[in-house]
Homo-oligomer: A and B are copies of this chain.
Amino acid sequence: MKKSIMAQALIFPTPVFVLGTYDKGGKPNAATFAWGGIASSKPASVSVAVRPSRYTYEALLERKSFTVNLPTYKHVDEADYFGMVSGRNADKFAATGLTPVKSEFVDAPYIEEFPYALECAVTHTIDLGVHILFIGEVKNVIVDESIDSSGNFISDLGILTFDSSSRQYRVPGNVAAAAFECGRRFIK
């Protein structure tokens, strides 16, 4: 038996997206968002929900560009800080010692010390109430030179997940099963 509780966007997992942007004056900023995901495969696109009060919101409208930097457990403190403090009041790269690098394909910085980033151009904005949903087309993926370029590397990086209900970051756990495999037993 089930019961109803308050309507809420209660989802696990959410990703930890650290958005890299330049503000009007060209100052690099990094800010953390967990409301987002993949939006389409072709053209490869991602979604991220941003409140208009966020400093990143202005930068997204101004430059139509952002990077999505995926933090591993090694940078959990930095990722958390990026979500707590506004770029209006702080130079977050200076505070953390991380390095912003100009992207090749879009007008936004990526974070050198994180293993990889998606370089995105804003293609759509959808007003959904408290949040504006930005859709970004992935123009390039930039990765550490040391890693295999197949894309399969991400399973070994220890990229963080976020649980908004318990307000905790988690590392990836054990593999439960292989996709497009374990379900075969139900196919007649």
Contacts and interface: CB of A to CB of B under 8 A. Distances in A.
Interface in A157-188: 157, 159-188
A163 B172 contact: yes
Contact of A37 (B6, B14, B138): B14
Determine chain A's interface SS by DSSP, over half rule: mixed
A78 interface: yes
B165 A9 contact: no
B170 A176 contact: yes
Interface string A120-133: 00011010111101
B186 A95 contact: yes
A74 to B, nearest CB: 10
A129 B42 contact: yes
B174 A95 contact: no
A141 B6 contact: yes
A176 B173 CA distance: 11
A80 B38 CA distance: 19
Given A44-B8, A172-B170, A135 B143 contact: no
A115 B9 CA distance: 15
B186 A9 contact: no
6 A-B pairs with the lowest CB-CB distances in the bound complex, closest first:
A37-B37, A80-B183, A81-B183, A173-B173, A40-B128, A155-B166
